[in-house]
Chains A and B, each alone.
Chain A
């Protein structure tokens, strides 16, 4: 089944990391990416620009309102995601632990909804 791995990181922590560490993290992401592709479980995955580049759109009284910044003021932000095809939750949790971003925050593992025709 497919799981989405939501990679939450604290941009402050990531920004504070020395350059050598950032390079190592990037290398670890490339390695992770090729590993899941080689295993044939990669469905998709992208990194996101930081929350400073975010725009929030909502509907208020039938009107669209656009505001600067992310919806919620939290320390950890969605920094990227993967969708991987795993046997079960145990396997998914194992992959989550290999995502380099786990060092800078947390990974939320969510099963992807399957719609069946009724």
Chain B
């Protein structure tokens, strides 16, 4: 029995997004679709004790549709679209064995979840809970909120989709580039929330990274544009370093990571995707970032990293994304390629920006270059400033470690 529950859990994780997407297309109702899919899984738990059907996803889809028909017929309080009832009734004659495949409506579901009429945090929660495999409590835990808060956010989102008439469709061509950008941004944010962990104790929240990669893969499979391929490549290349990135609860910088721990298969996968993306000759920020990550991934050790190329790529990235963060990374790459002094001159210029002054990574990067230039007193002050501004527990302890080191040198 334990084995069955586990098998069903696995099928739920792998297949529920696709079944749900098809059910919403049939029923035009997110809440009903999720409810009847739950019903179908509950039935499976009983029926499958005799054996799991040959086509479990098809079985679940057919059963969920039958449940929907039952529910709609029983519900005498509301009048229902007779066309919908007819369609469900005629579909009901198809058995799971006769069903070739479930129609793949996941793109429609993704675009609907990431519709601009929904707030960004709602887009993220809805994507994780419908197309992704995170239950409400899991999604709540991933975003450090209460399950009740998350549940309410999702219910409100589904009502807005229904009441405001948000279409369940892939957007028309003229709206597509912008809508696709939103979708990519949502996937990227989910990954970053997992990988960068802007708050909380853990540095990496693995389940979010895995979800983001899965979503990125669905998008790259169904709509393989240059930036979607580039995004997936980027996620894989970052994720390949996860085992080397934290040691005993502490952050390990790229140059100090044990490269033997990097995931070779993921790196190869990421580079192959990036090559496919670059062949399409439509440059974009995800591809450039993936190219930077691939240069790190391909260097046998930190010293042989092609920093000149990386600093040039950051220059190209800055033209797409003129953000202080990109400027900071570019200055750091310049320091690696052309020496600490050149890098520090760049950083000083960036420091005139008010955002930089409040950005802990700016002070951390500056402190690092000062330390490496043997300007220990200045380095100490910069580390201290970075520590004051940092909110991540693991990075805080990293900075505190550096402060102890530099103090020892000064007093030494």
Tell whether A116 pairs with B164 under 8 Å between CB atoms, given A89-B117, A90-B171, A90-B175. no
- B78–A118 touching, CB < 8 Å: yes
Contact status of A118 and B166, CB under 8 A, knowing A89-B117, A90-B171, A90-B175: no
Q: Which of A76-100 contact B (CB under 8 A)?
A: 86-90, 92-93
Cβ-closest chain A residue relative to B162:
A111
Interface: A1 (CB within 8 A)? yes
Asked if B247 is at the interface of the complex by the 8 Å CB criterion, the answer is no
Judge if B77 is at the interface, Cβ distance under 8 Å: yes
A89 near B78 with CB under 8 A, answer no
Question: B14 to nearest A CB, angstroms?
Answer: 31
Question: With contacts A88-B166, A89-B115, A111-B164 known, what are 7 further pairs, Cβ within 8 A?
Answer: A1-B165, A3-B165, A89-B164, A89-B167, A90-B172, A116-B78, A116-B79
Contacting residue for A92 out of B165, B171, B172, CB 8 A:
B165
A89 touches B77 (CB 8 A): no
B163 at the interface (CB under 8 A from A): yes
Chain A residues within 8 Å of B171, by CB: 90
B residues bordering A, Cβ < 8 Å?
A: 77-79, 115, 117, 163-167, 171-172, 175
- What are 25 pairs between A and B in contact, CB < 8 Å? A1-B165, A3-B165, A86-B165, A87-B165, A87-B167, A88-B166, A88-B167, A89-B115, A89-B117, A89-B164, A89-B165, A89-B166, A89-B167, A90-B166, A90-B167, A90-B172, A90-B175, A92-B165, A93-B117, A109-B164, A111-B165, A116-B78, A116-B79, A118-B77, A118-B78
CA distance A34 to B167 in the complex (A): 26
**Which chain A residue lies CB-closest to B161?**
A89
Q: How far is the CA of A95 from the CA of B166 in the complex (A)?
A: 15
Q: Which of the listed residues A86, A88, A116 has the most CB atoms from chain B within 10 Å of its own CB?
A: A88
Which chain A residues lie closer than 8 Å to B164 at the CB level?
89, 109, 111
* Chain B, Cβ-Cβ closest to A3: B165
Q: Which residues of A contact B (CB under 8 A)?
A: 1, 3, 86-90, 92-93, 109, 111, 116, 118
Cβ of B25 to closest chain A Cβ, rounded Å: 14
Q: How many residue-residue contacts, CB under 8 A, span A and B?
A: 29
Expressed in whole angstroms, the Cα–Cα distance for A111 and B166 within the complex equals 11
Residues of A near B172 (CB, < 8 A) are 90
Q: Which residue of A lies closest to B78 (CB)?
A: A116
CA distance in complex: A109, B115 (Å) = 15
For B115, what are the chain A residues with a Cβ–Cβ distance below 8 Å?
89
Contacts of A87 in B (CB 8 A): 165, 167
Contacts of A86 in B (CB 8 A): 165
A118's nearest neighbour on chain B, judged by CB, is B77
CA distance A93 to B163 in the complex (A): 15
**A74 vs chain B, min Cβ distance (A):** 22
Cα distance A41–B171 when bound, in Å?
Answer: 21
In the A-B complex, list the 4 residue pairs whose CB atoms are closest, starting with the nearest: A88-B167, A88-B165, A89-B165, A89-B166
Q: How far is the CB of B88 from chain A (nearest CB, A)?
A: 20
A86 CA / B166 CA spacing, docked (Å): 11
CB distance from A56 to the nearest CB of B (A): 29
CB neighbours (8 Å) of A118 from chain B are 77-78
Closest to B172 in A: A90
A111 in contact with B163 (CB, 8 Å): yes
Query: How many angstroms between the C-alpha atoms of A12 and B233 in the bound complex?
Result: 51
Distance in Å from the Cβ of A24 to the closest Cβ of chain B? 26
Residue ID in chain B nearest A94 by CB atoms: B175
Q: Give chain A residues whose Cβ lies under 8 Å from the Cβ of B166.
A: 88-90
Q: How far is the CA of A88 from the CA of B77 in the complex (A)?
A: 25
| A111 / chain B contacts, CB cutoff of 8 Å | 163-165
Q: For residue A1, which residues in chain B have a CB less than 8 angstroms away from its CB? A: 165
Q: Cα distance A63–B34 when bound, in Å? A: 49
Report the separation of the CA atoms of residues A87 and B169 in the bound assembly, to the nearest whole angstrom.
Answer: 12
CA separation between A93 and B166, bound complex, in Å? 10
Residue numbers in B under 8 Å from A88 (CB-CB):
165-167
Residue on B nearest A110 in the bound complex, by CB: B164
State A116–B78 Cα separation when bound (angstroms).
Answer: 8
Complex CA gap A2/B318 in Å reads 44
With both chains docked as a complex, state the minimum distance between the C-beta of B181 and any C-beta of chain A, in angstroms.
16
The complex places the Cα of A101 from the Cα of B79 at a distance, in Å, of 39
